[in-house]
């Protein structure tokens, strides 16, 4: 099936007389006729649902769909994107070890890694997504067990060369984990460029309507865990009577361990209702991404030609330093998020925001409705202009998430807002 068809059809095949739409299995537990059958499930000797913290039929259908969209062997939904990042890393990196991470990652990811996981004993080295091969190489050491990047970064819109990063990670005997939230598998499939694990915040384009938080981890099934660096996958797990994940689950060892070990212990499970809502979003993902990208391209070009705008950052613009790389990796477009700077600094940027009518001010990005955020007067308001520049947020920067409305209406809103500046 083509990817548009997978969005609609994958993951759930009803049998005779069963609901056509994935049902919401709003149940924590499942019934069995003998204690022995249930015991086998606990020992991982049989397959089946027994407690929703580990697996649930609604989640299962959506996990299969997302695994199919990314081209992986398995997926696991989580309660939020943050939980996906946490589990993706801690599934293979223990205290005393080290991760190479792109310095241009989502702020929540940066805090999780640089503070919380550091406090738990995992070390990080951050490298620019556009660093040279030598710079990236020198970030690795003998304790490194994973490399983590974002394909298109939030909010700086850097495009990461996934082919290059995966080659370097593999040369150091570690997998590449890619946060693919912004382009989604519609525009970019990291496994086709050598990545090993993909994560998403499904709260963004995948859900697409800003109704449910969620995350997902997808396993390509391609990484060879038997190189000696990953004993947690290749040596017995005593909490399951000595199961060896790579023996028992073959090329789905990583995602199986994420579920039966870390989801069991952390309990960051997605709710069945949220999985149901996510699935409805996924059905239209291909249609929506096409419109998000077409609208964003037009708005980015319009802003670039306005004499009231100082700069525009969008990988679809020829002026972007990532234009060629984006065209190569993502020929159908990147995403609907643009950042731009208003002439006249912090104050003018704030008044442009206030002049906008259709584009609402919210902290979310990547849903159906056009929205804007001015970091300098909201998320970063405590910082001085100099401090803003130091952390990569220009005082006059606006982050714009272009929705799927008729583009003429979005354009008109910006025209009137710029005119009265």
Ligand X SMILES: *Cc1c(COP(=O)(O)O)cnc(C)c1O
Q: Are 356 and 399 in contact (CB under 8 A)?
A: no
Q: Are 361 and 371 in contact (CB under 8 A)?
A: yes
The pairing of strands 98-102 and 144-150 is parallel
Query: Which residue number, 56 or 85, has a Cβ lying nearer to ligand X?
Result: 85
Half-sphere exposure of residue 307: CA atoms within 13 angstroms, side-chain side: 1
Contact positions vs ligand X (CB under 6 A): 80-82, 106, 108-109, 150, 154, 179, 181, 201, 203-204, 213, 215
Please state the closest distance from residue 206 (CB atom) to ligand X, in A.
10
Please state the closest distance from residue 100 (CB atom) to ligand X, in A.
17
CA distances from 30 to 26, 43, 55, 209 (A): 11, 16, 10, 31
Characterise 44 by phi-psi region: left (phi > 0), alpha (psi -120 to 50), beta (else).
Answer: left
Please state the closest distance from residue 158 (CB atom) to ligand X, in A.
12
Please state the closest distance from residue 80 (CB atom) to ligand X, in A.
3
Count other Cβ atoms within 10 Å, centred on residue 256.
Answer: 21
Query: Which residue number, 160 or 229, has a Cβ lying nearer to ligand X?
Result: 160
Query: Which residue number, 10 or 160, has a Cβ lying nearer to ligand X?
Result: 160
Query: Which residue number, 183 or 352, has a Cβ lying nearer to ligand X?
Result: 183
The residue assigned the tokens 């495009």 is 159
Beta bridge partners of 144: 98
Beta bridge partners of 311: 341
Please state the closest distance from residue 84 (CB atom) to ligand X, in A.
7
Length of the chain: 421
Query: Which residue number, 181 or 396, has a Cβ lying nearer to ligand X?
Result: 181
Which residue number is nearest to ligand X in terms of Cβ? Answer: 81
Please state the closest distance from residue 314 (CB atom) to ligand X, in A.
16
Q: Are 385 and 418 in contact (CB under 8 A)?
A: no
d(CA 139, CA 136): 5
Query: Which residue number, 233 or 271, has a Cβ lying nearer to ligand X?
Result: 271
């Amino acid at each position: 099936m083509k990817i548009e068809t997978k969005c609609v059809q994958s993951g759930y095949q009803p049998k005779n007389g069963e609901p056509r739409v994935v049902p919401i299995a709003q149940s924590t537990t499942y019934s069995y006729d003998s204690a022995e059958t249930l015991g086998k499930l606990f020992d991982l000797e049989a397959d089946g649902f027994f407690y929703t913290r580990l697996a649930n039929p609604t989640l299962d259908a959506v996990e299969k769909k997302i695994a199919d969209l990314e081209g992986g062997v398995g997926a696991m939904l989580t309660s939020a994107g943050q939980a996906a990042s946490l589990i993706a890393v801690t599934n293979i990196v223990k205290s005393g070890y080290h991760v190479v991470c792109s310095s241009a990652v989502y702020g929540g990811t940066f805090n999780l890694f640089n503070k919380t996981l550091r406090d738990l004993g995992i070390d990080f080295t951050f490298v620019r997504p556009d660093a040279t091969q030598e710079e990236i190489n020198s970030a690795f050491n003998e304790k490194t067990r994973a490399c983590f990047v974002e394909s298109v970064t939030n909010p700086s819109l850097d495009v990461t060369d996934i082919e290059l990063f995966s080659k370097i990670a593999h040369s150091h005997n570690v997998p590449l984990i890619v946060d693919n939230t912004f382009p989604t598998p519609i525009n970019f499939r990291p496994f086709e460029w050598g990545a090993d694990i993909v994560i998403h915040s499904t709260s963004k384009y995948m859900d697409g309507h800003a109704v449910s938080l969620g995350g997902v981890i997808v396993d390509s099934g391609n990484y060879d865990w038997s190189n000696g660096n990953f004993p947690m996958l290749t040596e017995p797990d005593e909490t399951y009577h000595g199961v060896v994940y790579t023996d028992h689950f073959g090329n789905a060892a990583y995602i199986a361990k994420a579920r039966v070990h870390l989801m069991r212990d952390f309990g960051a499970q997605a709710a069945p209702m949220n999985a149901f809502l996510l699935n409805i979003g996924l059905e239209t993902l291909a249609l929506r991404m096409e419109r998000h990208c077409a609208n964003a391209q037009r708005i980015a070009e319009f802003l670039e030609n306005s004499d009231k705008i100082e700069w525009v950052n969008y990988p679809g613009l020829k002026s972007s330093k990532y234009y060629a790389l984006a065209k190569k990796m993502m020929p159908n477009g990147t995403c609907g998020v643009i950042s731009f700077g208003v002439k006249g600094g912090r104050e003018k940027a704030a008044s442009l925001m206030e002049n906008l009518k259709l584009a609402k001010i919210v902290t979310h990005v990547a849903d159906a409705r056009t929205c804007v955020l001015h970091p300098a007067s909201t998320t970063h308001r405590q910082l001085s202009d100099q401090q803003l520049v130091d952390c990569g947020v220009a005082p006059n920067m606006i982050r714009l998430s272009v929705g799927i409305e008729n583009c003429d209406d979005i354009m008109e809103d910006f025209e009137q807002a710029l005119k009265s500046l």
